[in-house]
Amino acid sequence: METVDQIRDSLIGKIQTITNKDFLLALNNLISSSAVATAETELTKEQELMLQMSEDDIHYGRIISQDDLKTKTKSWLDNKRV
């Protein structure tokens, strides 16, 4: 059984080969009018836990700037190469 990602990738490949403008416009209208935009993403318990942990980190001030993160990451990587 194909996964959603496999089906999507297959469709993208097929769409890229279509040269008929009217067909592409009709397909675009079909996709645009679908309920895809309203579909909710189901999260696993692990994903929900990670999001809650992130919220807790923000709430308790356990955050650093993007620049500080880059500096720490570079330092860590440099030490791993030694």
pLDDT value of position 76? 93
Block means of pLDDT (10 residues each) for the chain, 82 residues, are 90 94 93 69 93 96 95 92 72
Contact 32, 20 (CB under 8 A): no
pLDDT value of position 33? 80
pLDDT value of position 39? 64
Distances in whole angstroms, Cα of residue 40 to Cα of each of 2, 14, 35: 21, 26, 10
pLDDT value of position 41? 80
Contact 72, 64 (CB under 8 A): yes
pLDDT value of position 51? 96
pLDDT value of position 32? 84
